[in-house]
Chains A and B, each alone.
Chain A
Amino acid sequence: MKRTKRCLGLIATALAFTLIAASCGDDGGEVATTTTADAATTTADAATTTTAAAATTTEAAPVSDGTFDLGGGAVLDTNECPSGWDDTQGLTDDEIRIGISLPESGALAGFGTIAEGMQVFFDNADPIEGRSVTIVSRDDGYEPGKTVTNIGEMIDTENIFAFSHILGSPNNLAVRDTLNEECIPQLFNATGLPDWGDPVNFPWTIGQLLNYSTESLIWCDYFASEFGEGATVAALYANNDFGKAYQKFFEQCAPDLGLEIVATELHDPNADTVTPEVTTLAASGADIFVVGTTGASCPRAVGAARGAGWAATIMVSSTCQNIGLFWGPLHSSASGAAHGIQIISTTKDIGDPRWADDSWVMKVRSELEAAGIDPDAGAQQTGYAFAEQLDHSLREAAANGGLGRVNVMQASWQQDWEAQNALPGATIVTDGADDAYIVEAGEISMLNLPPDAEAGSWVAVTGDLIDVEGDLGSFAG
């Protein structure tokens, strides 16, 4: 008996030590993305690379001081950059170092594997000017203050060439001034705040996603045509810049089209549940439920609405498109709850049977699987798709004057191509301040995930691509 007790004590002790050891091993998400030996080495060597890089940078087309046209009257003026600024900082002989800050912990931790997916893309891509791309990621828990710290630290110690796909509206807003003052590219912010399309005032910052103003406008048009005048809407928004952007734009367009907003609730983005808010909204009995939130709150809002027996048409934020990440888990806990929700989708969902034979989708699947990642489960597929845009800008810059921060910004503000991850017919066109938004097309889709289904897919509702390419201008007008 005594021996058994001692044994149990020993096991418990061993477990306790394992825990402590595990915690020591986690250094706060420092390139968590190191899926390859290559990446792991570069991270470990970061401190030495910083100094070495300064010496070894680059024969590739350095840019002298001057102004550079971005289109539509927007210019980059490198005379305003700090002394010591280097157009090719972050380029070593064999590496392009890209920084990203995103939530690997907290309520939006589901997005944390985006960086891993980006790294898989670049591990399988041809070198650019003989260099491979290394994604250096830091966890900010969706806390803007932590994003500021992460960015500062990465600038100081990680020899970063550019930042890409920083996630979160408040997080990108928090570092935008610094990155523009430091003349470091803030590329393809993984948020749809319209503010990112403002090259006149912030030429070093560019977004990528369908912007929330456009998305709200498409919602309004669709609801008005589908439900007619007098349709009632109840809306849930995250209480931050992201959710409030949806609220602002939806409340602007809804009344003009005869939609009646009967209930609105804001929720704490870090809360463990949105049930209290959704219960209040459900009591309104509105025809339509707009879910202007993201992360775990997306499935939680839908689950709570269905649980309350609210038979509204549910429209969720385009940021919640990933079925494996958001809707699979909800389906497991409450089968059928997510069936029939609607969204504006802008990319090919790799779980959609429509794209089963699509060369891009097959490439995503095979490369993620080869890296030991389940392509249907996490956010790696999103990261993989994000990387296509970054890759395009880097290659365009390399082909037009050589890799450098200025050339990458010019390549990003002057685009005209078709991305493989985009829906057929959608083009990516930017022209500085005349056309400052990248993704400007999507289709209304409905989630097909009935109670007895094992996997779901987005199904086009109307089949029409809603394309506002070039109509949006820029944030400044």
Chain B
Amino acid sequence: MFLLAVSVDTDPELLLARVLDGLRFGSGYGALALALVMIYKATGVLNFAQGELALLGIYIAWALSVGWGWPIIIAVILAMFATATLAAGIERTIIRPFDPSNHLPLVIVTLGLFLAINSFVAVTWTTDLKALPSMFPKGNVFAVGVAHLTWSGLGMFITVLVMLGAVTLLLNRTKVGLAFRAVSSNIESAELVGIKVGQTLQFGWALAAAIGTLAGALLVPELQVLDPNVMLSTLVFAFAGAALGGLDSPKGAVIGGILVGLIRNVVVQSVSFIPSELSVGAAVFVILLVLLVKPSGLFGSSKVVRV
């Protein structure tokens, strides 16, 4: 019989440190996963450019706060508006002309956007490392040995929960939210009852871009330095989070993202036979496992097809 030698670190301080790291990074992945889910829910398409739209927003926030000296919170809010406007324009010009039921061309368009935005950022702001200020105070809420809960970590976690609450309210308690849910449920029926599908989808893209920008602005200060590559692996973890939580569930996206953060920081680091350099591999493994075992994810709705 094949015996696998497994040892798990049991130092409680280290475990706590990893859990706190996992919650911190996981909140960021969850927030970006929420942005992915908004577009998937409406169109059934995974937007590969979501991370790069957030990257553009992060650099705009950096330019406004560091370059122009504006307060970081104002800079982030303006960056959210800027990327939302841009995303609405992208939807109108290069997404809407394609048949919404044919996903492959749309996926290819989002891949193209991914490259385009990344190049644009690198050309505009260069690839030199930069620092995005945090929206939260510096310092620790508490620290026990190597374990520490920072104000920014706590702020991130709370902001993501508030963001999830706001999105849930928006979808369930407003007219535009109702229209969005109707379009998500069935485009043809929505059109027949007079909902302007194009504008509703445009709204979805704008909202997703704003959420993504906020996710990036929360996460990047935790990565110490900013470069144009920063959202690439974050997007992989966000995909894993969205898949784990259920691709059409906002709540699932956030919980999935946090679970992926915990898997990366706690499971991969604690279990001896998983090399820590395989953290991105672990995210891909999560995606595969979910697709094989429970394709709808933890909170997603299963597809029911009349036969």
Chain A residues with CB under 8 Å of chain B are 8-9, 11-20, 22-23, 25-26, 104-107, 109-110, 112-113, 239, 265-268, 270-273, 275-277, 279-280, 282-283, 285, 296, 299-300, 303-304, 307-310, 325-326, 329-334, 337, 377-379
Q: Is the CB of B122 within 8 A of A104?
A: yes
Q: Is the CB of A275 within 8 A of B128?
A: no
Q: Is the CB of B131 within 8 A of A16?
A: no
Q: Is the CB of A276 within 8 A of B275?
A: no
Alpha-carbon gap, A16 to B90, bound state (A): 6
Residue of A nearest to B85 (CB): A12
Q: Is the CB of A276 within 8 A of B279?
A: yes
Q: Is the CB of B224 within 8 A of A283?
A: no
Q: Is the CB of B21 within 8 A of A276?
A: yes
Question: Could you say which residues of chain A place their CB within 8 Å of the CB of B268?
Answer: 276
Whole-angstrom distance between the Cβ of B243 and the nearest chain A Cβ: 19
Question: Could you say which residues of chain A place their CB within 8 Å of the CB of B265?
Answer: 275-276, 279
Question: Could you say which residues of chain B place their CB within 8 Å of the CB of A280?
Answer: 9, 14, 18, 269, 276
Given A105-B228, A112-B127, A329-B129: A14 in contact with B276 (beta carbons within 8 A): no
Question: Could you say which residues of chain A place their CB within 8 Å of the CB of B273?
Answer: none
Chain B: residues with Cβ within 8 Å of the partner, total of 68
Whole-angstrom distance between the Cβ of A112 and the nearest chain B Cβ: 5
Question: Could you say which residues of chain B place their CB within 8 Å of the CB of A325?
Answer: 128-129
Question: Could you say which residues of chain A place their CB within 8 Å of the CB of B280?
Answer: 268, 270-271
Residue of A nearest to B127 (CB): A109
Chain B residues with CB under 8 Å of chain A are 9, 11, 13-14, 17-18, 21, 25, 66, 85-90, 92-94, 112-113, 115-120, 122-124, 126-134, 138, 143, 145-146, 148, 150, 221-234, 264-265, 268-269, 275-280
Q: Is the CB of B269 within 8 A of A276?
A: yes
Q: Is the CB of A13 within 8 A of B92?
A: yes
- Provide a sorted-by-A list of 28 A–B residue pairs whose CB atoms are within 8 angstroms: A12-B85, A12-B88, A13-B93, A16-B90, A19-B90, A19-B116, A105-B228, A107-B227, A109-B127, A109-B228, A113-B126, A266-B277, A267-B277, A268-B277, A270-B229, A270-B233, A272-B233, A275-B223, A276-B21, A279-B18, A280-B269, A283-B17, A300-B223, A303-B225, A308-B17, A333-B132, A334-B138, A377-B128
Residue of B nearest to A111 (CB): B127
Question: Could you say which residues of chain B place their CB within 8 Å of the CB of A277?
Answer: 269, 276
Alpha-carbon gap, A112 to B275, bound state (A): 30
Alpha-carbon gap, A119 to B124, bound state (A): 21
Alpha-carbon gap, A279 to B146, bound state (A): 7
Q: Is the CB of B14 within 8 A of A283?
A: yes
Question: Could you say which residues of chain B place their CB within 8 Å of the CB of A26?
Answer: 119-120, 122-123
Whole-angstrom distance between the Cβ of B1 and the nearest chain A Cβ: 30
Q: Is the CB of A13 within 8 A of B128?
A: no
Question: Could you say which residues of chain A place their CB within 8 Å of the CB of B131?
Answer: 329-333
Ranked 4 nearest A-B pairs via Cβ = A12-B89, A23-B116, A109-B127, A333-B131
Residue of B nearest to A239 (CB): B277
Whole-angstrom distance between the Cβ of A36 and the nearest chain B Cβ: 18
Q: Is the CB of A9 within 8 A of B89?
A: yes
Given A16-B93, A22-B116: A378 in contact with B146 (beta carbons within 8 A): no
Question: Could you say which residues of chain B place their CB within 8 Å of the CB of A20?
Answer: 94, 116
Which residue in A16, A270, A309, A334 is a CB contact (below 8 Å) of B86?
A: A16
Whole-angstrom distance between the Cβ of A306 and the nearest chain B Cβ: 10
Q: Is the CB of B120 within 8 A of A15?
A: no
Which residue in A272, A307, A309 is a CB contact (below 8 Å) of B234?
A: A272
Q: A15-B85, A296-B225 are in contact. List 4 more A-B contacts (CB 8 A).
A: A16-B86, A276-B264, A332-B130, A333-B134
Residue of B nearest to A380 (CB): B128
